[in-house]
Amino acid sequence: MRHWVTIASSGIIAAAVALCAAPAWSKPKEKPAPAAKVAKTEKAKRARSPLAGLDLTRIRIGKDGVTAPAARGRIAHLSLDPDLQKTAMRLLERYRIPDAAIVLMEVETGRTLVWASRVEEGPRRDLCVDATAPAASVFKVITGSALVEEAGLGPRTKQCYSGGRSRITATDLIDNPNRDKWCASLSEAMGRSINTVFARLAINHLTPKSLTSAAKAYGFDEEIPFDVPVAKSKVKIPEDELGFGRTAAGFWNTTLSPLAGATIMSTIANDGEMVRPYIVESVTEKGKTIYEAKAGRKVLRKVVSPETARALTTMLEATVSSGTSRKAFRDSKGRPFLPNIRVAGKTGTLTDHKKQRLYTWFVGFAPSREPEVAISVLAANRPIWTAKANTVARDVLRAYFAKKGARGVRKP
C-alpha cells in the first residue's frame, strides 16, 4: 500500500571513467564488440530460445486457455485473461478503429492480462510492440517526471501562460503578464494537457540533456525486456529553444509503443520501480513442457523516487477527475462509469495530415492510490472516427473491475 509523503527532489550522480594504457605484462583489454555483432549474437540467442518464433498476432482462446504458436510446432501458453481478451477484441471491432492496440497488465507482477491488436489494412502485424506512432502528449508524463525529480517542482507549482492550444510559437514561450491571462498548476496542466505550461517550465528548469536522460530512464531508445522483440520507443530532443519546448509538450520527435506506454504507467504505479512485463507462462512441444516462466516479480531498475511517483500520480488523477478524460469516464448524466475508483491517466492526441491519421492515446493505472492494473491504448483513426483511446480504455477498465465485482461497475 502506498504512503503519501512530502515530495523530495533527488540528484543524479555521474561517473567518469579514465582509460589508461595497460602495463606490458598485463592481459590486453578486450575491445567492445561492434553493435552489429552484439545484435547478431542476441538474434542467435533468441533463435535458440523456447520462445523463438512466438507469434502474438495469432492468439487463440480455447479450452486449454489462451495460446499462441511458436517455432517448430511449439505452443506458448499465455498469461492473458480469456474474458478480458475477448472483450478487448470485441471493443476494437465494435468501434471500427483502423489501427489500434490495447495492453493491460498487473502492476505488481508485470503479468499481461490483455494483448489486443487490430490492423484493418495491409500485412498482419502486432501493434502492441510497434513504436511508429507519435507519443504525442503522453510525453508530458516524462517532462512532468523530470520537473519533479530534477527540478524539485510539484503538483501545485503554478505557471501562467497564453497560446499553445494546438501549436506553440516562439512568442508563446515568453512570460508576459500583459498577455498571460491564465495560470495553472502542474496538476491542472497535466490533466488538461496545457502545452505552453509544459514548454515554459521545461525551458526554465530543464535542458535537452536532462530531459533525454529522463526519457531513457523510462525506456526510450532501448528495447523493453519482454517475451517477444519490442521496437524501441524513440526520443530525439532538439537543442534549439523552440524545438525543445515543443518536444517537451508532446509535439513530435518522440514515438511510443503501447507496451512501453503500459510499462511507463506501471513504473509510476510501482513507486518508481520498473517491473519486467511478461506474457508467456509456459511453452509445450509435443505435449511436453519445455519452458516455464520464473515465479515472482522482476524489478529491472529504479527510475524515479517514490515521492516523484506519488506526485505524478496526483497530477495524472486530474486527467480523469477534471481534465481531458472527464467526459469519457462519465455517462450522459455525468455519473462515473467507475464509481469510487480513482483512475490516473494521460491522453495524447496528434494528427498526421500526410497519413490522414488521428492518433489518440490513453495510458494510466487504477485504482490510483492502490494500483492493480496499468493500461495503454492506442487508436489511429481516420479523419472521421467513432471512438478515441480514452473511451476504449474506459471500457476495458469497466470489464476488469466488473469481473472483480466492484460495486456499481457494469461490464461494457
Residue 322 within any structural domain of the chain: yes
Residue 109 within any structural domain of the chain: yes
The Cβ of residue 139 has, within 10 Å, a number of other Cβ atoms equal to: 31
pTM, two decimals, is 0.89
272: cell is 518508481
Summarised one tens digit per residue, pLDDT across range 155-181 is 999 999 999 988 999 999 999 999 999
Summarised one tens digit per residue, pLDDT across range 300-310 is 999 999 999 99
Domain of residue 301, residue span? 49-403
220: cell is 526510450
Residue 353 within any structural domain of the chain: yes
Residue 314 within any structural domain of the chain: yes
According to DSSP, the β-strands at 280-285 and 288-292 are antiparallel
* Of 364 and 28, more confident: 364
Average pLDDT over residues 50-55: 97
Summarised one tens digit per residue, pLDDT across range 192-236 is 999 999 999 999 999 999 999 999 999 999 999 999 999 999 999
Residue 296 within any structural domain of the chain: yes
Residue 87 within any structural domain of the chain: yes
- Cβ-in-10-Å burial (0-12, 13-18, 19+) of 10 comes to middle
d(CA 282, CA 409): 33
What is the reported pLDDT for 166? 86
DSSP-based three-state secondary structure for 235: strand
Residue 3 within any structural domain of the chain: no
Confidence band for 45, pLDDT divided at 50, 70 and 90: low
What is the reported pLDDT for 41? 52
Specify the CATH number for the domain of residue 291: 3.40.710.10
pLDDT mean across residues, the chain: 91
Confidence band for 1, pLDDT divided at 50, 70 and 90: very low
d(CA 374, CA 276): 13
DSSP-based three-state secondary structure for 160: strand
The CA-CA-CA angle for residues 220, 223, 229, to 5°, reads 140
Tell me the CA distances in angstroms from 116 to 44, 98, 173, 400, one per residue in order: 28, 13, 40, 15
DSSP label at residue 196: H
- Residue carrying C-alpha cell 506506454: 261
For the chain, the domain total comes to: 1
165: cell is 492550444
Instruction: Reply yes or no on whether the pLDDT at 383 is more than 80.
Output: yes
Amino acid at 211: L
Instruction: Reply yes or no on whether the pLDDT at 13 is more than 60.
Output: no
Residue 175 within any structural domain of the chain: yes
Residues 6 or more apart whose CB falls under 8 angstroms from that of 60 comprise 66, 67, 68
Dihedral, 134, 336, 270, 99 alpha carbons, nearest 10: -30
d(CA 263, CA 342): 19
